[in-house]
Structure 1
Amino acid sequence: MHLDTEGTYQCSLTGLIFEVMKAVKITYSLLSWSKYASLVEKPWIVGGPLFDVRCDSASALASIQFPHSLCLGDHGAGMAFKVLHIKGEGAAIEPSADYSASHVKWLVSSLSPVGPLIQSQEPVQYHGAVILYKVVDEQPSLSFRVYVATNNDSFIKDISRAVKHSNKKFIKIDKPPVCQKLLQKGKRYRLVCEPEAEVTPEEIEFVDGSLLKLKSYIEVYLEKPDDFTLSLVELESDATVWKAKLRESDWIHYDQNKNEQKRSAVSVKKRKPALSILEEDALCSKKQRTGNKAGGIETRNLTDQQLMVIAKLFGRQWREIAIECLQMEMKDIEQIQATEEEVNMQKFLLLSKWRDREQGNGTAEALYKSLHEKASYEILQALQGFSAQC
């Protein structure tokens, strides 16, 4: 990417944020953590994707902010972020300059593969993703691979690479991948299919497989090619973590000669970063199903649960964003703060007020349009996922 002048820029595809001192050309590639697994030693664990960044004027690249896949919650104070800086055959663990709900900031010392690490005194919770692939063959039955992963681009690229080099042919099924409830290491999950299908294994214990060369998956087999629904359920709470409806139209068109997916268009946006630590609380399970028809297409207002997801992704600048982007007034914020002490609930109630004001247009798309100039990459990504579910 070519950056025309000094400033802070964010890549729309990867979420990387670059702070540059002058016009530069930056190139970067996504790497696999499994190749460098021996360099990550306990108590450190992988915190996000691994990148190899290059710049035509290294001294002009002041800092890089790497996206991470963790939910900091109330445990932000009990976490330590650093970066693994790979140099030749070895590596150094270097300090981070700052961290936020979505990124880890590193002051550039030299350019070679770098990725975020974390050390935590509490159980780590991850923003998760479910990736679907269908076997392409001449059989009337249906066979799928279901990968449960951290929302980590390095991990997801490893999955894509494993599928590409499989002896079987696959097509990726395009469904919103983002989990609506956090994944936690050690917790057990079950993949449920309606109508019933052969699911192997029936249950899994979640681990971050970033460092593993072989990525585990769940196999789903259906004898009849009917529409069906897949749900990932947390066993402890019986809560639905992720859900998707699969129809024949999802895989009827494909290129049998390719396992590769089309690349997304990349854009870069100049921004004023405002890093802050995200506070976390329990998800709100109440859902709102208010519908609106525009142009003959039914759209749905954001549910309470979806609003809570967005609320927890806002940082300390949420009041400014609410006033500037959502046309809220300070008296609205003060009234909410007077009746509710918990910060995430304050943010949720403010978003709920926005939804009520918009009446039938309190949709993910509408909120995306209002926030896209100021919101973080993670918020915009979540809203895009919600919009695709409608």
Structure 2
Amino acid sequence: MIKASCVSSVKADTQPGLSEDNTKMIESSFTPEVYGESAHIFYSFRCPGQGVFQCTLTGLVFDISQQAELLYKTVQWDEKLLQQSNKMAAGPLFNIKSSKDAVRQLHLPHCVPKDALLSNCLSVVHISDGEMNVLKPLKITDTHVIVEFPHLSSFGLVWDIIRRFWNKEKPVLGQVLLFLRLPNPKTQKQNLNVFLLPSNIPVEEVRMKHRYSDYIPVPSNCEFFKDCIYTVLCPVACRIQPEEEKFHLDFGPNYHPTFEIRLPANTEEVSITVKDQMQTDVWRRDIDLSGNITTPDTRSEMMRNGGPW
């Protein structure tokens, strides 16, 4: 097991982007301890006492009644269970454990824009011992779905398939993530992988799957439409593949690049544009690559030690 962070921290503040009612409820944010094992990631946090705490890495919010330790991770959705209930995933599935029955409420981050929110558009499923129960939310805010539950196990957001079909023209909040791979010394080329993902996918989950690539932090927010076709433009690229791709609501466990941009190895800056099928710009950024290229020696050392964790 590889330990990513030795000390979890608590900070008494509120998170930007939360709706007013959510902001008033959150008393502090925390950065959990993070552990990597194989291609999986685990989060741990020792709650100091009663309060409402938000995880800065996953967006989860915990309403805690007493001092306790939280252990949580994402797990794979069971598509058969979802289909039997006419549901489709609307976020990652989190498996949550606590040293005590200390969690009173759970706030799960969603990816529905404010103007597309409906009172019945989202629900929460509680999966335990192979059985799935649908929980009615206590409240849906601009950013989270709040729920109470009988006991801790696995929780995730879902859409009703029929309602989602009738609302397919509504966008989802998305993010564009960039990962730069090590240059190929033989071809003198390097690949910049572009991921189009829903906004409630934790970046750390994608980083763990691609831990031998360099994550390029850039402003990532945008909106996507499910099953709409998108293209990527990069003027200095040697090649971009595929030429176009549909946006899928992918909630893991594997996060594959949507596009691969092949660049000359000495490229220091690029402009990247994501366009929709109407050729409208939905995301455009100028990217500095000069400080993000890991040397071969450093990368080899990372691989020997199990990655950058």
TM over 0.5: yes
Distance across 1 between alignment mates of 2:204 and 2:294: 24
- Count residues in correspondence: 252
Using a 3 Å threshold, how does the CA distance of structure 1 residues 69 and 253 change in structure 2: closer, same or farther? farther
Distance 1:106 1:249 in 2: 43
SS at match of 2:197: strand
Letter in 2 for 1:44: K
How far the C-alpha of 1:198 sits from its partner, in A, is 0.5
What is the alpha-carbon distance in structure 1 between the residues aligned to residue 223 and residue 237 of structure 2? 26
Q: 1:8/1:249 Cα in 2 relative to 1: closer, same or farther (>3 Å)? A: closer
Decide whether the 8 Å contact of 2:193 with 2:257 is kept in 1. Answer: no
Could you tell me how far apart the structure 1 residues matched to 2:49 and 2:181 are? 47
SS at 2:234 equivalent: strand
1:89 aligns with 2:130: yes
Alignment partner for residue 256 of structure 1, among 272, 292, 299? 299
Higher Cα radius of gyration: 1
Aligned equivalent of 1:67, options 109, 133, 140: 109
1 or 2, which has the higher strand percentage?
A: 2
Give matches, 1:110-129, under 5 Å: 110-119=151-160, 120=164, 121-123=166-168, 124-129=170-175
The one-letter code sitting in structure 2 at the alignment partner of 1:148 is: L
Q: TM-score, structure 2 length as denominator?
A: 0.71
| Residue type of the alignment partner of 2:174 | G
Give the whole-Å Cα distance in 2 for the aligned partners of 1:110 and 1:251. 45
For residues 103-127 of structure 1, give each alpha carbon's deviation from its aligned partner in whole angstroms, at most 9, with x where no partner exists: 0111021111111112333124222
Q: Find the aligned partners of 1:212 and 1:18 in 2 and give their Cα distance.
A: 23
The alignment yields a C-alpha RMSD, in angstroms, of 2.7
Q: Of 15, 20, 26, which residue of structure 1 is paired with 2:69? A: 26
Change (3 A) 1:252 1:112: closer
Q: How far apart are the structure 2 equivalents of 1:39 and 1:171?
A: 34
1:211/1:246 CA distance change after superposition, 3 Å? same
Specify the alignment match of 1:187 in structure 2: 228
Gaps of 5+ in 1: 165-169, 264-390
Determine the C-alpha separation between the residues in 2 that align with 1:193 and 1:130: 14
Task: Select the residue among 157, 175, 178 that pairs with 1:132.
Answer: 178
Query: Among residues 72, 83, 96, which one is paired with 1:53 in the alignment?
Result: 96
Q: Quickly say closer, same or farther: Cα 1:56–1:162, change in 2 above 3 A.
A: closer
Question: What secondary structure does 1:48 align onto?
Answer: strand
| Partners of 2:135 and 2:149 within 8 A in 1 | no
Q: 1:111 to 1:4 in 2, by over 3 A?
A: same
Report the identity percentage: 15
Higher helix proportion: 1
Say if 1:18 and 1:61, in contact at 8 Å, map to a contact too: yes
Residue in 1 aligned with 2:46?
2
Distance 1:202 1:144 in 2: 15
Query: Within 2, Cα distance between the matches of 1:151 and 1:45?
Result: 17
Question: Counterpart amino acid of 1:193?
Answer: C
The superposition leaves residues 15-73 of structure 1 with CA deviations (integer Å, 9 ceiling, x where unpaired) of 2212223x221313221335x23322264222223222222221x32111111122241
TM-score, L = length of structure 1? 0.58
Cα distance in 1 for partners of 2:252, 2:237 equals: 33
